[in-house]
Amino acid sequence: MPDSHRDDGYDPDRWDARFIVARDGPRELEDGVHRRTLASLNNGWLARGGHLRLHDDHLSFDPSRIERLLFAKPVRVDFTRVTGVERHPARPEDVLPGGMSPRMRVRTEAKSYDFVFHTGLDDWLDAVGERMRIWQTRRRFDGE
């Protein structure tokens, strides 16, 4: 997926380039989006595939078209509600019970959101942590 700091390996001359653009959207990041990738939002027994985006002050998850046909709703997690961002399992060499994939757990006071990625879990944890630090610093200096 597009990221302003990394090459994602996209080749516009590949035979499936048009399908990739149809699935992922435009190659450029939208205004105010620092990172975007395909992810799965797992809550309990239900998993939804879609795009996870990292914005200045929140995370947003937009389900894929097929998931929206199955009544999936977009999710927005504001940094004001986030109480913690964790990696499960805590160490990369550990394994979760039942063969579950490693995930990024975003905790809020009301509930938690588990995001599963094909690749780049630790990069996402670093990016979210950095963006939250920047957001908190801005709030502190803005006097909020």
Instruction: State which residues of the chain have pLDDT below 70.
Output: 1-10, 23-27, 143-144
pLDDT at 43: 81
| Cα dist from 65 to 7, 27, 44, 62, 133, whole Å | 26, 18, 21, 9, 33
Q: What is the pLDDT of residues 95-133, one digit of tens each?
A: 887 778 889 999 999 999 999 988 888 999 999 999 999
pLDDT of residue 26: 65
- What domains appear along the chain, each with residue ranges and CATH number? 17-142 (2.30.29.30)
